[in-house]
A and B are shown apart, each in its own frame.
Chain A
Amino acid sequence: MSATGGKEEGKRRCPLLLRPASRTLNTSVSHGGPRGAHQRSRQTTSVLGCHSRRSFSLGGSKVLEKNVVQTPRQAVQVFDEENNDVTPQPLYQADPGAVQPMLFVDEISVGSASDQPTATGSFTLPFSRYQSLRSVFGSSRISSQSTTESVDDEDMFSKRDIPLSFPDVKVKKDTEKEQVTEDMLKDITEVFISETDTFSLLDMPSSFVSVDADEAEATIARNHQYEEVCRNRVSRDKTVERSVQTLTGTTKNKHVQSNGLMVVDADVCMSTATNVTICDMCEPLSDAEQEETAGICNPVKTDHAEGVTYSSRGADRSVSVGSTATTVSASGSLKEVDVKALNAEMEWELIMLSETFQLYLQTVERSILQNSFHPQLAAYRQLPVLGDPESPVKNEIVEQRTGDTDGGPSLQCLWVFSCELSRGRSVSCMTWNRKNPDLLAVGHGEFNSGNQKPGLVSCWSIKNLKWPEHIVHCDSAVTTLDFSANSPSQLAVGTHDGSITIHNVHSQDNRSHGVSSRDSPNRHLGPVWQLRWTQQEVSSTGEEKVEALLSVGADGRISKWFSFKDGLDCIDLMKLRRIQNTETKAGGKRTEMMAESVLTALTPGLCFDFHPTDSSIYLTGTWEGLIHQCSCSNSEQFLETYRKHFCPVNCVAWSPFNPDVFLSCSSDWTIQLWKQHHLKPVLGFISAQKAVYDIKWSPKWPTVFGAVNGGQLEIWDLSSSILDPVIVQPAAPGVRMTSLLFSSQADCVVVGDSDGHVTVYQLKNLNVGEQSQVDVLEDLICSAASR
């Protein structure tokens, strides 16, 4: 331990003979004071029981203390070799009457001198400042013997200050006799309590005996004995088992009323952030802006991503903007607001791509449209429209409607299926879905003109009147459509170039090409004029009706198609041979004479229809104006031929109620009503001098059918008139009506025209007679036939 500054005395002390009066004391060196009569007396104050191990120094602290003397003081005198008294004298003689605080400044003991058991450092205080004080040299000796505890006894005590002798207060050994002056009473006495050494009262160190030693066995025996003693010893614990029952007091309900909590919406905080998001959305984000925000946010993004995953809000979501919002709202820095905006963007991206969102958009769109077209849809579904008492507008509609019932039969236009895609493209065919009667497939194609424009198939739903559900683009004009009955999402499309494609309506891809017959060697060489899925008779298993796709084309063949490799292939059911010399001498010949010419040309077949009950019998109308009745099992001969028309037969239709009756329409402006096996028509209808393109029976009324010629839609009701149609609806100017469908659900007709519009009309006031319609028809026919 080295001494500070002017402590060479300590060092110089080495050669000096130190005669401490008591070994327990360590002298502290104080500077030599003024020599004189003052007996320098050391005074050991309370012993600092600073541990010999390692003691810390109170660095730099000045402790005021009263020098309380308890232990006897010993006078130490230092002599050098010559036995001179070189006892240092105190340098300073404090004023006796003054208060004597004790100040000592600790010094830092550096290092450890192993030899020197005691090393003290003393220091001088700037006494000049404390003139009135009796300063005391203090030295706290810190034994920084960081070495082992095997410190000498001398080191056990660290030194305390020993004040210099003050003449007046002869603080000597007998502290009891200290005179307590008035001044001293006013002093603040500080008592310093320190730790004493550890006194060990009993120390029995354990001894270790090696197993191999001689005493080992004895030791082991003694150990065992001791353990037994311990075990057998009666336990001092006087514990008694005792049960205790805690009585639960009865609960008492108490109502407490408190003021309602003031709820303040946190919208204020969020608005700053949402401002950014809405700005993001409303104004198109420029790329620069995006990069900017991305750049700023990039370093923070990861943090937020982590924070986001860790934040749990009870929902099993991976992105949570709300939790970041709470952390962000605290500080309004732009950076964090950007991050929130970015989080919102990320979330938006996720949402946009999710399927449920698409589904919801679709649902909401349908709901909106349902609202917009509420009266029309209600009329279609044949539901009464309840007047809204609040809005006056609706009342007018209701009044109008009631006015309608007074008039005669009429058509009311409900709505028009039309969209930009289909505008301008003439409707060539329409068909309802077999399973979902709300779904209507419309084929568009212009095949009267020379150039071949690509065709379009649009599937509309009643639920969405503004946009088709599914769109299929075809390579060439679509001529015919049919939905399958067994697999209702399959739609067979026949086109002008002779190929047949089977599309799946459920698929989202607009350009997906279904199974096609384009590559088939047997494909139709001309336009496919009609397609039909028919359920042939039961297969061998007897469970399901096998469905087959049949087509009639301009090459005069009726073919049955099936899937083959990747496409379709067909077998011919019938070839429509051209029959010449159509006049027969005697009427009612059942079979025709085949033409004798070598080249049997085939005549294009334009339409066919299968018998409602016997699906192997079908009628087909040809370009020549003949209607042949054929059988699927007979591919050589026609069963019957009905002659009347002299222009191409555009459509034939069996009556759904009367299996013997069918209608045919042709470009020779006439509609003919036939009875099976009667080679002459029963009734003929003509109203306008235009080619009749399409004819359909009503699914509801046996005597009602509709016909479409170029300029108008006609609804005929045979029970009321056989000369004139009951309802005539003219087409819009410049537009030709091309196809017709009755709706099975409602009293509606669907008309397609050359402008691509599909209009839905509702039949009103078609007062069909009360009698059973079939009977009426029968009667009619009988009466007509007998004429």
Chain B
Amino acid sequence: MTEFSLLSPIQGQKGVQGIIVANSEGIPIKSTLDNSSTVQYAGLIHQLVMKARSTIRDIDPQNDLTFMRVRSKKNEIMIAPDKDFFLIVIQNPSD
């Protein structure tokens, strides 16, 4: 099972701009975007995920963040965080 076979079903969907897999410190491991964008996305989203997670946990310590979708004017960023990694997918559905 190569990474291509794993990511290709998502990659091939309509409007998907990029997929990034980063580890829990925000360092990208795999990406389909160019280097600078990858690094930028991974770093910024890492911070966002940390903040969101801490928010959820502050409200209820037994709760945890499972999925995040950030809808913006131009596209939508879907973030699936885990304790070991997080998966970021950027999609522009109107493409």
Q: CB distance B76 to A365 under 8 Å?
A: no
On chain A, the residues within 8 Å of B84 by CB distance are: 317, 350-351, 354, 356
Q: Chain A residue with minimal CB distance to B86?
A: A360
Q: How many whole Å from B16's CB to the nearest CB in chain A?
A: 6
Q: CB distance A274 to B35 under 8 Å?
A: yes
- A274 contact from B1, B10, B39, Cβ within 8 A: B39
- A351 contact from B14, B21, B69, B73, Cβ within 8 A: B21
On chain B, the residues within 8 Å of A365 by CB distance are: 9-10, 13
- A347 contact from B7, B23, B83, B91, Cβ within 8 A: B23
- Residues of A344-403 contacting chain B, CB below 8 A: 344, 347-348, 350-354, 356-357, 360-361, 363-365, 367-369, 371-372, 374, 390-391, 393-394
Q: CB distance A352 to B1 under 8 Å?
A: yes
- B35 contact from A275, A322, A466, Cβ within 8 A: A275
Q: How many whole Å from B48's CB to the nearest CB in chain A?
A: 15
- A281 contact from B27, B30, B67, Cβ within 8 A: B30
Q: Chain A residue with minimal CB distance to B16?
A: A368
Q: Is A271 among interface residues, defined by CB-CB distance under 8 A?
A: yes
On chain A, the residues within 8 Å of B43 by CB distance are: 265, 267
Query: What 1/0 flags go to A255-289 for Cβ under 8 Å of B?
Result: 00000000001010011001101100100000000
Alpha-carbon distance between A360 and B69 when the two chains are bound, in angstroms: 13
Q: Is A313 among interface residues, defined by CB-CB distance under 8 A?
A: yes
Q: Is B3 among interface residues, defined by CB-CB distance under 8 A?
A: yes
B contact residues, total (Cβ < 8 Å): 41
Q: Chain B residue with minimal CB distance to A265?
A: B43
Q: CB distance B13 to A368 under 8 Å?
A: yes
Q: Is B59 among interface residues, defined by CB-CB distance under 8 A?
A: no
Task: Please report A residues at the B interface, Cβ cutoff 8 Å.
Answer: 265, 267, 270-271, 274-275, 277-278, 281, 313, 315-317, 320-322, 325, 344, 347-348, 350-354, 356-357, 360-361, 363-365, 367-369, 371-372, 374, 390-391, 393-394, 466-467
- B9 contact from A325, A347, A467, Cβ within 8 A: A467
Q: How many whole Å from B10's CB to the nearest CB in chain A?
A: 5
On chain A, the residues within 8 Å of B78 by CB distance are: 364, 367-368
Q: How many whole Å from A104's CB to the nearest CB in chain B?
A: 67
Q: What 20 additional pairs, Cβ within 8 angstroms, besides A274-B28, A371-B93?
A: A265-B43, A267-B40, A322-B25, A344-B29, A351-B21, A351-B29, A352-B1, A352-B3, A353-B1, A356-B82, A357-B85, A360-B80, A361-B87, A363-B80, A364-B80, A365-B9, A365-B13, A374-B93, A393-B94, A394-B94
Given contacts A348-B29, A372-B14, contact A363 B24 (CB under 8 A): no
- B91 contact from A348, A368, A466, Cβ within 8 A: A368
Q: How many whole Å from B88's CB to the nearest CB in chain A?
A: 9
Query: What 1/0 flags go to B35-51 for Cβ under 8 Å of A?
Result: 11011100100000000
